[in-house]
Amino acid sequence: MEHPSISNKHKLSLVEGSKPAIDYTQTKTAEDIHRQLPYTLQTSLILEDMLQLFQHEVNAVFPECSFHYQNPSMKVDINSAEKSHHRCHYKLEMNGDYLGDLSFTQSKKFSQADIIFLEDLLSLLVYPLRNCLLYKKALASALLDDLTSLGNRAAYEKSLHREIDRAKRHNIPLSLVLIDIDNFKIINDNFGHMTGDRALKILADMINQNLRGSDLAFRFGGEEFVLLLTDTSIHDAQVAAERIRESVAQILSHDGTNSFGFTISLGVAQLDMNEEGYHLFERADMALYEAKHMGKNITVCAKKP
């Protein structure tokens, strides 16, 4: 059971400039940890690395203690180990800004001295935690397309290398889908660029609705989009591509003045374990080029290299 002085609604909240109260008697090791922790946590702005440093310091005093950190708004869920019988749960805030929820668990009951010590460490965690979250948010913004909120080209390049390494390391299939809006210039010329932007957003929505959580989507540039489908054969990638194509073709949208619809063409290629990322993209691009010349609004699969 949880310690009676800690509940799921317990909140640790700091006001800028406040200092933690140190009113417990611990060993010299615990005092050293408390003194050095602020400097230790400032050595990394990577959230996962910083929390690992924090866990290491906590384990110096509580060897069996694990923690679970969650921040749903940032899509972060870090669990250091399986939950044990006794738990202390905290909602972390600073100046009213939500920083996440953190739970400590261990097999034996937390004493009052344990809780005081942990809460003092948490009061030292919130500043570095806030900085890491701000850094994570800034990195995410730099990799997002402003119009569609999909990943941008820089995010695609970064993800492509990672997913190819993963596919080759684990010998699992990886497929790439290249998407292009048919006659996009005509949409812009006939209805204006605002309508063109609306078409791009509609396509992004259709992509999000038809992909799995493990799949990755990017706006490559202009009216071109790229999908990276992990652990997916070319056959399954074609099925996913067709699902998106059919969803888009059925849409008749209103921009306040005009009603319009549009179609997309798609090229699909599966990674060959001997090729690099640019080869995979080129083969998907050639398949897309073929789809355009076959009359558009069609999906074409690339041949093996």
What dihedral angle (degrees, nearest 10) is formed by the CA atoms of 21, 26, 32, 33? -70
Pairing of strands 253-254, 216-221: unpaired
CA distances from 41 to 46, 50, 73, 94, 131 (A): 10, 6, 22, 17, 10
Q: Are 209 and 244 in contact (CB under 8 A)?
A: no
Of 2, 16, 48, 223, which is the active-site residue?
Answer: 223
Residue keyed to tokens 């990276």: 228
Contact call for residues 299 and 245 (beta carbons, < 8 A) = yes
Q: Where are the beta strands (DSSP E) in the chain?
A: 11-14, 66-71, 76-79, 86-94, 97-106, 174-181, 216-221, 224-230, 253-254, 259-260, 264-270, 299-301
Active site residue 223: yes
Interatomic CA distance for residues 271 and 171, integer angstroms: 11
Residue 302 to residue 305: CA distance in whole angstroms: 9
Which are the catalytic amino acids? Answer: 223
